[in-house]
Amino acid sequence: MVLDINLVMEMFRNNLRTRTAIVFISIALISIVIVSITTNILIINSFGNYVTKSTDKEFSNIANTLAAVYKSEGGWKSTTGREIGHAAMMEGYGLRLRDKDGKIIWDFSSMSYMMNMMGKWNKKNISEKTLPIIVDEKTVGYVDIIYYGPMMMSDLDFKFLYDISRYNVIATVIAIFIALIISIYVSNYITRPLVNITEVAKKLEKGDFTAKVYDIPKEEELFKLTAAINHLGESLKNQEILRKQMTSDIAHELRTPLTTLQSHIEAMLDGVWEPTHERLKSLNEEVLRLINIVKDLETLNKFESDMLKLNKIKFDVSELVKNILTNFEASFAEKEQEVVKNIEDNIMLFGDKDRIAQVFVNLISNSNKYTPVGGKIKIDFYKDGDYAVFIVEDNGMGISKDDIPFIFERFYRGEKSRNRETGGSGIGLSIAKAIVLAHGGKINVESEINKGSKFTVKIPL
């Protein structure tokens, strides 16, 4: 049979599946060998105890038989129990009978020893013991017993032990073979999800963000790992979509003011327009808008890279919310919006006052913009444990379910018309989220299209 070198290399390849199989097989082999050796030792010891107990029982039977003969004959004579001694000698026992004073009545121990020396008896096990002969609870004599082992029986005993050991070895080999198969199966079962995850990770690395692990394992740890890699793929796919959209959005945000600047300047250079104060002012506003976009991007980048230093002070954040709402009264009145305010007093917070004000202003401004004339806006501010909670809820145009996961991404706007009167630059919520996270807080949104939105901000006090 030709050995496939590729198969051998695959078996010994340095990967998790091979290592896992080797570990399982090693544990199984060590366990099986230890159990096999321990079982063999216990069997031999148990058999030895069995032989010892059997011998002791035979000794007691000999003493009891001699006691019965003594009782039937009424005492010791030179012939009392001699037939017992002869019979015992044929079974490998050497007996010496003595009366209660220790006087020898008869002795077959020497003859039994000579027969043993002639090779007719087993020389492997020799036991010696002296037992009292008791009649009517009185000691009437003693029997000295020497056991050399019965004719041929010892060989059977050793054959029995040999067979037990041989069967034990066979069972060990079978157990090792079964353990080998089970170990390979278990290692494959455990590592298969990891192999699948690795394959998906390679595809993600190459830019295939649609790749997923479809064979979901039931084990909790592997299930979580699979869910994480699938979530990572989905996130990368969304990020790729956002990246492309952000590039388009940035181009759009910059194209309009630059186009306006170019057309106005060209018209002035060609003598079509006079460089009047009003036209120069309009050009300056476009430049300022470009500068503001760049500043917003720089601010957001600083927050997201932890480079922005927060000027934290302890201040009355309740008073800050009230002042901001006062500044928006004209905007609310212009759109005839009903505003319900529930502001808890005297909440002190340690943070960057200006940045936190920027978050509140952004959320209230968005609510004002996207709530129609005559709409309703509800603003709650209260203390919840170690957090200050700020909630802005309205019955405006709302946000679609598809847009909610991306609403805090820079330049993302669910309203695709790109109308600056409502849409802004699409970076305000990104900055708001960055500021809240920089303070160790949380911000989330609940919304339904054409029913309104609810933004909740929690900032540690």
Q: What is the pLDDT of residues 388-435, one digit of tens each?
A: 999 999 988 888 887 777 777 766 655 544 444 444 556 778 888 888
Sequence length of the chain is: 461
Q: What tokens does 282 get?
A: 């309009």
Q: Dump pLDDT digits (tens) for 33-83.
A: 787 788 778 877 777 777 777 777 888 888 888 888 888 888 888 777 788
Judgement on whether residues 320 and 427 belong to the same structural domain of the protein: yes
Q: What tokens does 31 get?
A: 């366990």
Does some domain include residue 9?
no
pLDDT of residue 152: 39
Query: Range of 222's domain?
Result: 206-306
Q: What tokens does 1 get?
A: 């049979």
Determine the average pLDDT of the residues in 168-174: 81
Q: Are 386 and 460 in contact (CB under 8 A)?
A: yes
Higher pLDDT, 459 or 149: 459
Distance CA 439, CA 308 (A): 11
Residue 151 phi, psi (nearest 5): -65, 120
Please provide the DSSP assignment of 290-356 as one string: HHHHHHHHHHHHHHHTT-SPP-EEEEEHHHHHHHHHHHTHHHHHHTT-EEEEEE-S--EEEEEHHHH
Judgement on whether residues 338 and 262 belong to the same structural domain of the protein: no
Place of tokens 């003011």: 257
CATH of the domain at 116: 3.30.450
Q: Are 441 and 447 in contact (CB under 8 A)?
A: no
Question: Helix or strand or coil: residue 445?
Answer: strand
Judgement on whether residues 366 and 431 belong to the same structural domain of the protein: yes
Residue 66, Cβ density class (10 Å: 0-12 exposed, 13-18 middle, ≥19 buried): buried
Number of separate domains in the chain: 3
* Among the ranges given (5-19, 339-353, 377-391), the one the predictor scored with the smallest mean pLDDT: 5-19
Of 277, 306, 335, which closes a domain?
Answer: 306
Number of C-beta neighbours around residue 48 at 10 A: 13
Q: What tokens does 296 get?
A: 């917003």
Place of tokens 């020396």: 117
Judgement on whether residues 39 and 153 belong to the same structural domain of the protein: yes
